[in-house]
Copies of this chain bind each other. A is one copy, B any other.
Amino acid sequence: MDRTARRTENRYGNRPTMKDVAARAGVGLKTVSRVVNGEPGVTPDTERRVQEAIAALGFRRNDSARVLRKGRTASIGLVLEDLADPFYGPLSRAVEEVARAHGALLINGSSAEDPDREQELVLALCARRVDGLVVIPAGDDHRYLEPEIAAGVATVFVDRPAGRIDADVVLSDSFGGARDGVAHLIAGGHRRIGFIGDQPRIHTAAERLRGYRAAMEDAGIPVDERWMSLGVTDPERVRRAAEEMLKGQEPVTAIFAGNNRVTVTVVRVLAELDRRVALVGFDDIELGDLLQPGVTVVAQDAAQLGRTAAERLFRQLDGATLLPERIELPTRLIQRGSGELPPA
């Protein structure tokens, strides 16, 4: 190998380039490019010489350079709240599968529910010139994305709509799902029903609360302010909220949990109780069917959410001129026991 003194201190660690391959094979640069990209118009003999040089040098095309020239990076960005939240697992995988089918790589990052961090991450992805973005927004003002979208970055929001810009969004029917779940509890005879949800600035949390209120109102049940608690979903806060509604003279007899994180903690709190309290949770949870009682949930299809968003993204990229659309997926009530417990 004569690669030692080739370049001074190495970029990309001294990798051979098409130029090196061309020199070794005794052909022009463009011929190497043709062979590497499988373009026609190279005689078998020339091709063989080039292939040999490629193998001997261990050449691998630098897609960074290719991207610069071609203008598309064949990569998309996925910004979500927390890579470790089980809700995003199937969603991420679905996005990845669609991306893969379109030959694109997935750049993944978490906003940690922080609008500034979301923006920082999104703009970093734009600076890398991802072809498109799938965003589960943390913030409520996405005007910072306008120049990017105008410049051609395909963008689809998932799970929550964009703020102050008009963009595609794919979401679950949070309002309807919560309303149905709460109506189910009411149908079971409950009147004092608690709602524990995420921070009210988060669209899904607000929508689910709205669904809760609608179901209560439909049934003519006045809502006590103490039955509703919105805030961060860490176990301590949720635990306090649940305990608060469960004590006193007139405790709630049922709880609607606003998402999977809340449900898990409420299940823990209820397990410690000496009386039975009904529970319906938004989002399905693993093993929820094997608890005693099984956890009744309003399930949403996270994979379908991701798939729909990613497919929409690639339709944008394929040049379809689409007007921004709002796609809402239905939820499904799964009865497993906890939501069918009668009032104490």
Chain B residues within 8 Å of A6, by CB = 150, 152, 321
Distance A19 CA – B73 CA, assembled complex (angstroms)? 22
By the criterion CB–CB under 8 Å, are B89 and A7 in contact?
Answer: no
Using a CB–CB cutoff of 8 Å, the interface residues on chain A facing chain B are: 1, 3-7, 10-15, 58, 60-65, 67-68, 70-71, 73, 75, 82-86, 88-90, 92-93, 96, 100, 105-110, 123-129, 147-153, 166, 264, 267-268, 271, 285-288, 290-292, 303, 319, 321, 323-324
By the criterion CB–CB under 8 Å, are B68 and A65 in contact?
Answer: yes
Distance A56 CA – B68 CA, assembled complex (angstroms)? 24
Chain B residues within 8 Å of A13, by CB = 150-153
By the criterion CB–CB under 8 Å, are B92 and A126 in contact?
Answer: no
Counting every copy of the chain, the complex holds 2
Chain B residues within 8 Å of A5, by CB = 321
Chain B residues within 8 Å of A96, by CB = 83, 108-110
By the criterion CB–CB under 8 Å, are A127 and B62 in contact?
Answer: yes
> Which B residue sits closest to A322, measured CB to CB?
B3
Q: Which 6 pairs across A and B sit closest by C-beta, in order of nearness? A: A13-B152, A11-B71, A58-B147, A84-B89, A108-B108, A13-B151
> Which B residue sits closest to A100, measured CB to CB?
B109
> Which B residue sits closest to A88, measured CB to CB?
B89
By the criterion CB–CB under 8 Å, are A127 and B287 in contact?
Answer: no
By the criterion CB–CB under 8 Å, are B152 and A14 in contact?
Answer: yes
> Which B residue sits closest to A286, measured CB to CB?
B286
Distance A150 CA – B5 CA, assembled complex (angstroms)? 10
By the criterion CB–CB under 8 Å, are A86 and B86 in contact?
Answer: yes
Residue with the greatest number of chain B CB neighbours at <10 A, chosen from A89, A148, A324: A89
By the criterion CB–CB under 8 Å, are B287 and A291 in contact?
Answer: yes
What is the CB-to-nearest-CB distance from A26 to chain B, in angstroms, rounded to a whole number?
Answer: 22
Pull 24 A–B residue pairs with CB atoms less than 8 Å apart, ordered by A.
A3-B323, A3-B324, A6-B150, A6-B321, A10-B71, A12-B71, A13-B151, A60-B123, A60-B148, A62-B68, A63-B124, A63-B129, A64-B64, A64-B67, A83-B89, A83-B96, A84-B89, A84-B92, A84-B303, A96-B109, A105-B124, A271-B290, A291-B291, A292-B292
Q: With contacts A285-B287, A286-B285 known, is A14 near B151, CB below 8 A? A: yes
What is the CB-to-nearest-CB distance from A183 to chain B, in angstroms, rounded to a whole number?
Answer: 26
What is the CB-to-nearest-CB distance from A156 to chain B, in angstroms, rounded to a whole number?
Answer: 13
By the criterion CB–CB under 8 Å, are A107 and B109 in contact?
Answer: no
Distance A11 CA – B151 CA, assembled complex (angstroms)? 9
By the criterion CB–CB under 8 Å, are A83 and B73 in contact?
Answer: no
Q: With contacts A10-B152, A93-B82, A287-B285 known, is A125 near B107, CB below 8 A? A: no
Chain B residues within 8 Å of A291, by CB = 287, 290-291
By the criterion CB–CB under 8 Å, are B60 and A126 in contact?
Answer: yes
